[in-house]
Structure 1
């Protein structure tokens, strides 16, 4: 069964690379048009990316708790929702401080998740070349998060999301850019020295995506086609229904079974975001993307805490 699990992981890795590669090529090809066009289409792409990525975080209870224990399940869901609600309130109250914490949290979550994904591949392929997981995680997490948010192109995107976030970096944008570049350069050097060419390719792709694509597009492609896909592939290694599909020899069915149970969360997230906007008396046109992002970020807080257990297991 390990062979079919490995096959799925490798296919998902290839797909995520192709998606990022296509985005990079299109960004180069249409650079002038993108710079001169309105940002509305980028907002649409960002919302589509959220729709693709949201289900990957909706199965925490299925992979961390025994489904037969109703009391534990109910307590888990109650605490999960309570933490998310508090996070929503905090983000809507303290926009800039909350956003800075989200940036840090996202960089950690994305980087460790990607390193754990690669570790799962290593475990099944019996890779013997040493993989410096946390160095890679630092670069892989900060590249897709920090670079798009400190570039010159980030102003229009942040104004559309929430004007209060434009100067979130407090003038340290060049410093943040420099540190991320130094970390990435060092990580690439160590990966090449260790002949971890696959991981080096991943970092180069993430760098090119971050510096060529408009911020919202870079986020859309990364979140929907890289992070969510790889995390979902990892879920199949634990989710009982996916494991059953693997036993029957179907990697495709195993992946689908890790996606479908999370789709109700997609509808719920957007409904809750719309209700928050309307209850605040705001316009859906102006606030829906911002509030949708807030809800997703808020859900990421308990999601990170729960997936930390899976991450530790993968990285050990």
Structure 2
């Protein structure tokens, strides 16, 4: 996982000149395939994680969970429709926290570390980042400029956190990502990080928590990942049919789709790591009439909570 990310990052830096000559259509096609095939499955395990950590025995609690999951994603989609620039800023903010949790579970530290992931591509490729944001919102120039301006502060804050924690591993990984983001187009840098570091790390944690093999995890995630991919393809085709350039349609479907899916994904992650929130969520999803007289159902609270992923450092 980590070695693959570091090796691929170095390879991309070395091949930056060649990658820069690739046609836009080819880059976006490869990015979309990589993110869908290698990135979406880690979030597609959310249903299995919720069933185990929240004790969602039976069909009715699972249906309630899926309904809430879809509702949160739909709310973010509506946010993008009504106020797209504000939705983009919100997405980048919670994405920074979510990605920063790859290295630190504390909210403040995660926000500082994850800010590097979000801002670094805009340092050299501000115009390209602005083009992606414009495809998502209609006008992303100001947001891209803001990220470029914030990038030095994000780097300084991350370096401070890393030095205080004496976390050499985080320093190496973020340093490699920084070099990658300065060398290649933002969609390539994001795909390498998302597919080779973020997604495998989360998948490993969930598999350990649920005692799943990689094969079982892939089998469990496949239907949900496929459904999300089909929805994204339909959205891209619809926007392209309405006159949006194909590259822009793919960019909008990919990143708006990730924005919508990250909201319920991150919410579940934070709920399962906090016993009080998990207990509350279980009471909402599994009413006492379904949990039985003892209010715990077929598994006790202790057993349910033991199944949650280990909290990051």
Question: For the superposition of Structure 1 and Structure 2, which TM-score range results when normalised by the shorter chain?
Answer: 0.7 to 0.9
Distance across 2 between alignment mates of 1:273 and 1:73:
24
| Closer/same/farther in 2, CA of residues 37 and 63 from structure 1, 3 Å limit | closer
Partner residue of 1:109 out of 98, 101, 117: 98
The answer for the alignment partner of 2:296 in structure 1 is: none
| Closer/same/farther in 2, CA of residues 59 and 168 from structure 1, 3 Å limit | farther
**Contact 1:269-1:296 within 8 A present in 2 as well:** no
**Contact 1:277-1:291 within 8 A present in 2 as well:** yes
The answer for the alignment partner of 1:178 in structure 2 is: 152
Where in structure 1 are there 5+ consecutive unaligned residues?
1-14, 117-132, 243-253
Using the TM superposition, name which of 48-57 and 30-39 deviates more: 30-39
**Contact 2:159-2:171 within 8 A present in 1 as well:** no
The answer for the alignment partner of 2:131 in structure 1 is: 159
Distance across 2 between alignment mates of 1:227 and 1:27:
18
The secondary structure found in structure 2 opposite 1:115 is: coil
Distance across 2 between alignment mates of 1:36 and 1:279:
29
Deviation digits for residues 93-129 of structure 1, max 9, x if unmatched? Answer: 432221111111111111124435xxxxxxxxxxxxx
Distance across 2 between alignment mates of 1:170 and 1:28:
22
Partner residue of 1:61 out of 47, 52, 77: 47
The secondary structure found in structure 1 opposite 2:141 is: coil
| Closer/same/farther in 2, CA of residues 25 and 142 from structure 1, 3 Å limit | same
Partner residue of 1:140 out of 98, 113, 116: 113
| Closer/same/farther in 2, CA of residues 92 and 151 from structure 1, 3 Å limit | farther
Using the TM superposition, name which of 272-281 and 48-57 deviates more: 272-281
Deviation digits for residues 163-192 of structure 1, max 9, x if unmatched? Answer: 435414274344301211211221232233
Matches within 5 A, 1:19-168: 19-51=4-36, 52-65=38-51, 66-116=55-105, 137-148=110-121, 150-159=122-131, 162-163=134-135, 164-168=138-142
Deviation of 1:161 after TM superposition, in Å, equals 6.3
Deviation of 1:91 after TM superposition, in Å, equals 1.6
The answer for the alignment partner of 1:282 in structure 2 is: 242
Aligned residues, how many?
Answer: 269
**Contact 2:49-2:206 within 8 A present in 1 as well:** yes
| Closer/same/farther in 2, CA of residues 27 and 91 from structure 1, 3 Å limit | same
Q: Note if 1:228 corresponds to 2:199.
A: yes
Distance across 2 between alignment mates of 1:162 and 1:171:
12
**Contact 1:92-1:294 within 8 A present in 2 as well:** no
The secondary structure found in structure 1 opposite 2:33 is: helix
Deviation digits for residues 251-286 of structure 1, max 9, x if unmatched? Answer: xxx222223211122221122123334555425824
Superposition RMSD in Å: 2.6
Distance across 2 between alignment mates of 1:24 and 1:315:
24
Where in structure 2 are there 5+ consecutive unaligned residues?
275-309
Q: Note if 1:314 corresponds to 2:311.
A: yes
TM-score by length of 2: 0.76
Distance across 2 between alignment mates of 1:236 and 1:168:
40
Distance across 2 between alignment mates of 1:27 and 1:158:
22
**Contact 1:91-1:99 within 8 A present in 2 as well:** yes
| Closer/same/farther in 2, CA of residues 270 and 165 from structure 1, 3 Å limit | farther
The answer for the alignment partner of 2:232 in structure 1 is: 273
Using the TM superposition, name which of 209-218 and 74-83 deviates more: 209-218
**Contact 1:138-1:183 within 8 A present in 2 as well:** no
**Contact 1:39-1:157 within 8 A present in 2 as well:** no
| Closer/same/farther in 2, CA of residues 28 and 104 from structure 1, 3 Å limit | same
